[in-house]
C-alpha cells in the first residue's frame, strides 16, 4: 500500500486535478452493474492521450493495478477494481466522427452507444450492435466484452463492426490495431484479440467502426405459442425457410407473466401467460415485403395468436412487452442472477428441458428471455437475498446451468463476459491448455500484471462478497 500511496502522490503531481481522491468519487468508481464494490486509491480522468501514457508508465514502475472504466454497466464485475489501485475513467472521451461517404465512424471509448446510433442514422447509416443498456453503455465497454444485442442474429456483434482500435499497451506504449479500411492483412490480428478481453490486454481510446446502410423498411410481429418447446420448434422452422429476421426475441411464460402483472394488461387477451416471440424484419422495401408473406404464413400455422404492428407507434407498443419484462421480475424476488448463456441451434429443444429441470430441482423462479436469432438467452435466477437457503440454491442453480449449457455445446457467456462473477465457470468451458494459452497472452502483453488484475482467471466467490445497495441508472430497464 505504501508504494501505491507514493505512486498516487507522484501521479497527482503530474496530472493535478485529473487525479481525484475524494471519498465519493472513489466509492462511485468502486463498483459496476454487478454492485461488487472495491475501493480504489484514486480515480484518474485523463484529458489527453499523453495522460494515459503517463498513468500506465507510472503504474508499471510501481506495480499499481489499473482498472479501465466507462459507464460501469458491466454485470459481471469486470469494471470493479478488485485489487484497488487506480480506476482509469474514460467516460469523458465521447467524440464521434462520421465519414458518411465511406460508411465509417470513429468513436472514442466513452461515446455512448445510443448517441452513436443517432449520429450515424442521421447520415443514413446503421450500426447494429444494440445492448439493452445502450442508453448508458459506452463503445469502450462494448469492445471490452464484445457486446451484442437483439440484432446479433442477422448482423453480428461488436467484433463484426470494428475495423481498427487505437489505444495503449499496459506499458504505456501507443498502438493502433487495424486501419480505416474494409480489408486489412498485415501482421497478427491483435485487434480482435483485444475485443472481448475485458480491458486486460490494453486500453482502448478510440474505435474505427464499419457501418451498413440504414434499413429502408421495418415490419414487426408479435406471436404467442402454446409452450416454450412449441416456440423454439416454430423458430427453427422459420429459419429453415431461410428467413433471417433482424430481431427474433423470445420471452418464456414466466417473463410474460411478470410483464403482464406489472402492466395490468394481457399480452394476448384470453391467452395470458403464453410464451411469445417478437420478430422484426428489416431491409429494403421489397425484401421486407417478400419476407413478410413468408413470416405471416408461418405465424398463422405455428402460433396460437399474432399481432402485426401497422406503424412504428404500434411496433413500439409491442416492444414494451420485451422492455418491461426484466424489471418486472423483481415481483418474484428482490435479487437475481442474470446469466447470458448461448445455446447451439441444434440444442434448442434440450435447452427447454434443461431449464424446466433446473426450476424443479432448485425450487426457484427462472424467467428466461433473449435472442433466438443467435441462441443468446438471459436466464434470470430469482432469489431473496435475506434467505440463506435461497442464496445457496441460486448459487448451485447457476453452476448447474453452466454445466448443462457446456454439455449442450453452448457458451457460458454471449455478451456479458467473465469478469469476477463467472470466474468459477471459466474452466468448465476451457480445458487447462486453453486457459494457459490465454494466461500466456496476458503475460506477454502485460508482464507486470497491472491491467484489470484479478479478473477472469482467479476464482472469485461472489457469494462471499456483499453487494452495495445502490440504484444504477439502468436498473429500471
Distances (CA, A) of 98 to 91, 105, 131, 179: 20, 4, 21, 15
- CATH code, domain carrying 393: 3.30.70.2740
Question: Burial level of 280, CB count in 10 A (0-12/13-18/19+)?
Answer: buried
Gap between the Cα atoms of 307 and 222, Å rounded: 5
Q: Which whole number is the average pLDDT over 178-188? A: 92
153 lies in the same domain as 72: no
199 lies in the same domain as 272: no
SS3 429: helix
- Residue 423 located in a structural domain: no
- CATH code, domain carrying 32: 3.30.43.10
Whether residue 389 is predicted with pLDDT greater than 80 in this model: the reply is yes
- Residue 444 located in a structural domain: no
- Last residue of some domain: 36, 63, 91? 91
Report pLDDT digits (tens) over 354-375.
999 999 999 999 999 999 999 9
Residue 455 has what DSSP assignment?
S
Dihedral (CA of 181, 150, 429, 234) sign: negative
Q: Which whole number is the average pLDDT over 169-192? A: 94
To the nearest whole percent, how much of the chain has pLDDT over 70?
99
- Last residue of some domain: 163, 186, 213? 213
Whether residue 466 is predicted with pLDDT greater than 60 in this model: the reply is yes
Amino acid 477: pLDDT: 42
Gap between the Cα atoms of 143 and 162, Å rounded: 9
Q: Which whole number is the average pLDDT over 149-166? A: 96
Smallest CA-to-CA distance from 277 within 353, 218, 224 is with 224
| Structure confidence at residue 3 as a pLDDT band (50, 70, 90) | confident
Element at 15 (helix H, strand E)? helix 2-15
Gap between the Cα atoms of 267 and 305, Å rounded: 10
263 lies in the same domain as 233: yes
- Last residue of some domain: 376, 401, 416? 416
Smallest CA-to-CA distance from 162 within 109, 204, 209 is with 209
288 lies in the same domain as 246: yes
| Structure confidence at residue 472 as a pLDDT band (50, 70, 90) | confident
Contact yes or no for 87/21 (Cβ under 8 A): no
7 lies in the same domain as 52: yes
Gap between the Cα atoms of 380 and 367, Å rounded: 6
27 lies in the same domain as 54: yes
The set of cell numbers assigned to 424 is: 468459477
Gap between the Cα atoms of 137 and 165, Å rounded: 18
Amino acid 321: pLDDT: 83
Q: Indicate the length of the chain as a whole number.
A: 477
Distances (CA, A) of 219 to 58, 211, 421: 54, 21, 38
Gap between the Cα atoms of 361 and 378, Å rounded: 19
Element at 51 (helix H, strand E)? helix 49-62
Report pLDDT digits (tens) over 242-260.
999 999 999 999 999 999 9
- Residue 380 located in a structural domain: yes
Give, in degrees to the nearest 5, the angle at Cα 394 between 388 and 397. 140
**Whole-number average pLDDT of the chain:** 95
* Backbone angle region of 423, left / alpha / beta, with phi > 0 → left and psi within -120 to 50 → alpha: alpha
Strands (DSSP E) found in 343-375: 368-371
Which ranges in 241-341 belong to alpha helices (H)?
253-263, 285-302, 312-328
- Residue 468 located in a structural domain: no
Distances (CA, A) of 336 to 290, 381, 385, 391, 470: 41, 5, 9, 10, 15
Q: Which whole number is the average pLDDT over 119-133? A: 96
- The number of CA neighbours under 13 Å toward the Cβ of 205 is 19
279 lies in the same domain as 325: yes
109: Cα separation from own chain's centroid:
16
20 lies in the same domain as 80: yes
Report pLDDT digits (tens) over 68-77.
999 999 999 9
Whether residue 421 is predicted with pLDDT greater than 70 in this model: the reply is yes
Contact yes or no for 225/141 (Cβ under 8 A): no
Q: Which whole number is the average pLDDT over 169-194? A: 95
Q: What range defines the domain where residue 371 resides? A: 332-416
Q: What are phi and psi of 161, to 5 degrees?
A: -120, 5
312 lies in the same domain as 338: no
For the chain, the farthest-separated pair of C-alpha atoms sits apart, in whole angstroms, at 71
Report pLDDT digits (tens) over 256-307.
999 999 888 899 999 999 999 999 999 999 999 999 999 999 999 999 999 9
Specify the number of domains making up the chain: 4
Q: Are strands 376-383 and 335-342 parallel, antiparallel or unpaired?
A: antiparallel
Least confident residue range of 133-137, 160-164, 307-311, 315-319: 315-319
Amino acid 469: pLDDT: 80
- CATH code, domain carrying 306: 3.30.70.2190
- Residue 471 located in a structural domain: no
Amino acid 1: pLDDT: 65
Please report, in angstroms and rounded to a whole number, the separation of the first and last CA atoms in the chain: 39
Contact yes or no for 34/421 (Cβ under 8 A): yes
- Residue 477 located in a structural domain: no
Higher-confidence position of 427 and 474: 427
Whether residue 476 is predicted with pLDDT greater than 60 in this model: the reply is no
SS3 353: helix
277 lies in the same domain as 367: no
- Residue 209 located in a structural domain: yes
To the nearest whole percent, how much of the chain has pLDDT over 90?
89
Smallest CA-to-CA distance from 419 within 391, 380, 459 is with 459
- Residue 43 located in a structural domain: yes
Gap between the Cα atoms of 200 and 210, Å rounded: 24
Element at 340 (helix H, strand E)? strand 335-342
205 lies in the same domain as 122: yes
Amino acid 325: pLDDT: 86
279 lies in the same domain as 249: yes
| Structure confidence at residue 473 as a pLDDT band (50, 70, 90) | confident
Q: Which whole number is the average pLDDT over 28-43? A: 96
Amino acid at each position: 500500500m505504501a508504494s501505491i500511496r507514493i505512486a498516487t502522490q507522484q501521479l497527482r503531481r503530474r496530472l493535478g486535478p485529473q487525479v481525484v481522491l475524494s471519498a465519493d468519487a472513489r466509492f462511485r468508481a468502486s463498483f459496476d452493474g454487478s454492485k461488487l464494490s472495491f475501493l480504489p486509491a484514486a480515480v484518474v480522468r485523463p484529458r489527453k492521450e499523453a495522460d494515459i501514457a503517463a498513468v500506465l508508465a507510472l503504474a508499471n514502475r510501481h506495480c499499481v493495478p489499473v482498472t479501465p472504466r466507462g459507464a460501469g454497466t458491466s454485470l459481471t464485475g469486470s469494471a470493479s477494481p478488485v485489487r484497488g489501485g487506480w480506476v482509469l475513467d474514460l467516460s469523458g472521451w465521447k467524440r464521434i466522427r462520421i465519414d458518411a461517404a465511406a460508411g465509417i465512424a470513429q468513436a472514442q471509448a466513452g461515446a455512448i452507444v445510443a448517441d452513436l446510433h443517432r449520429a450515424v442514422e442521421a447520415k443514413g447509416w446503421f450500426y447494429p450492435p444494440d445492448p439493452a443498456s445502450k442508453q448508458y453503455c459506452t463503445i469502450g465497454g462494448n469492445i471490452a466484452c464484445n457486446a451484442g444485442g437483439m440484432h446479433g442474429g442477422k448482423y453480428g456483434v461488436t467484433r463484426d463492426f470494428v475495423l481498427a482500435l487505437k489505444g495503449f499497451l499496459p506499458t504505456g506504449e501507443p498502438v493502433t490495431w487495424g486501419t480505416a479500411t474494409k480489408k486489412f492483412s498485415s501482421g497478427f490480428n491483435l485487434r480482435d484479440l483485444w475485443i472481448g478481453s475485458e480491458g486486460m490486454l490494453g486500453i482502448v481510446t478510440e474505435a474505427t467502426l464499419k457501418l451498413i446502410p440504414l434499413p429502408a423498411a421495418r415490419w414487426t410481429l408479435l406471436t404467442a405459442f402454446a409452450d416454450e418447446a412449441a416456440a423454439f420448434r416454430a423458430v427453427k422452422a422459420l429459419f429453415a425457410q431461410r428467413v433471417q429476421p433482424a430481431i427474433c426475441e423470445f420471452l418464456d411464460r414466466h417473463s410474460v407473466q411478470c410483464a403482464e402483472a406489472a402492466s395490468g394488461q394481457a399480452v394476448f387477451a384470453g391467452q395470458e401467460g403464453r410464451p411469445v416471440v417478437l420478430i422484426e424484419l428489416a431491409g429494403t422495401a421489397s425484401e421486407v415485403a417478400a419476407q413478410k408473406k413468408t413470416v405471416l404464413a408461418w405465424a398463422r400455422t405455428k402460433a396460437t395468436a399474432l399481432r402485426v404492428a401497422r406503424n412504428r407507434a404500434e411496433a413500439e407498443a409491442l416492444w414494451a412487452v420485451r422492455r418491461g419484462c426484466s424489471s418486472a421480475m423483481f415481483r418474484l424476488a428482490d435479487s437475481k442472477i442474470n446469466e447470458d448463456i448461448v445455446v447451439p441451434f441444434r440444442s434448442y429443444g434440450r435447452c427447454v428441458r434443461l431449464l424446466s429441470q433446473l426450476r424443479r430441482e432448485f425450487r426457484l423462479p427462472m424467467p428466461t428471455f433473449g435472442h433466438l436469432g443467435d441462441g443468446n438467452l438471459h436466464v434470470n435466477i430469482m432469489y431473496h437475498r435475506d434467505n440463506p437457503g435461497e442464496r445457496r440454491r441460486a448459487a448451485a442453480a447457476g453452476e448447474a446451468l453452466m454445466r448443462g449449457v457446456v454439455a449442450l455445446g453452448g457458451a457460458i457467456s454471449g455478451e456479458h463476459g467473465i469478469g469476477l462473477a463467472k470466474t468459477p465457470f471459466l474452466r468448465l468451458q476451457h480445458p487447462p491448455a486453453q486457459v494457459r494459452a490465454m494466461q500466456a497472452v496476458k503475460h506477454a502483453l502485460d508482464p507486470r500484471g497491472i491491467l484489470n488484475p484479478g479478473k477472469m482467471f482467479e476464482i472469485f466467490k461472489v457469494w462471499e462478497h456483499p453487494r452495495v445497495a445502490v440504484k444504477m441508472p439502468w436498473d429500471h430497464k
